[in-house]
Chain A
Amino acid sequence: MIIGKVCGTIYSTINHPFYDKRKLMIVDKIAPPGIKIDDYLIAVDSVGAGVGETVLVIDEGNSARQVVNDPQAPIRSIIVGIIDDIVINQ
């Protein structure tokens, strides 16, 4: 799993039927100490995350399909948690 920060949303009407009524978020990948990596991904929201929140994202197909309970779903990235705090012990 990766840590990310939700920075925006995407709207779409013409899409694969699986993505009907699903919320798509633009998530910036971040390194644990809060350093920004210049990379992003578009993830489906499953927990009700909002813009500006730090989130936990699965970027692996089989796990994502288990979360949505559909073994044929064309989904790889899904937000599965909202992070309150990160503590790193050096």
Chain B
Amino acid sequence: MLLGRVIGTVVASVKYTGLEGVKFLVVQPLDKYQKPKGKPLVAADATAMAGPDELIYYEASREAALAMAIPFVPVDHAIIGIVDGVDIPNQESK
């Protein structure tokens, strides 16, 4: 799993069977100091509670589909949880 920041939403009215009602969010992957790293991606929201600007962690590949309510859907990134806090003791220079 990796950290990410929700930067937007995706609205799709026509979706594959099993994805009805699933929310899609645009996620910017972050490094451990919460600085952007890599290209944004679209993730399905398995918590159904994530919103814009929230710090989240997401899972990729097959495990993303397993996190959804219907487990065998075409999803390759899923938001697993909303981060309350990241604790990195003796942090090096940011």
Contacts and interface: CB of A to CB of B under 8 A. Distances in A.
Interface of A: 7-16, 18-19, 24, 26, 28, 40-43, 51, 61, 72-77
Interface residues of B, number: 29
B20 interface: no
B62 A16 contact: no
What are the 8 closest A-B residue pairs judged by CB atoms, nearest first?
A15-B81, A74-B67, A8-B88, A42-B1, A74-B66, A12-B81, A14-B82, A11-B85
Given A19-B80, A19-B81, A42-B1, A10 B57 contact: yes
Q: Interface SS of chain A: helix, strand, loop or mixed? A: strand
Nearest to B88: A8
B81 A14 contact: yes
Most chain B CB neighbours (cut-off 10 Å) among A11, A12, A13: A12
Nearest to A61: B63
B24 to A, nearest CB: 17
B83 interface: yes
Contacts of A14: 47, 49, 81-82
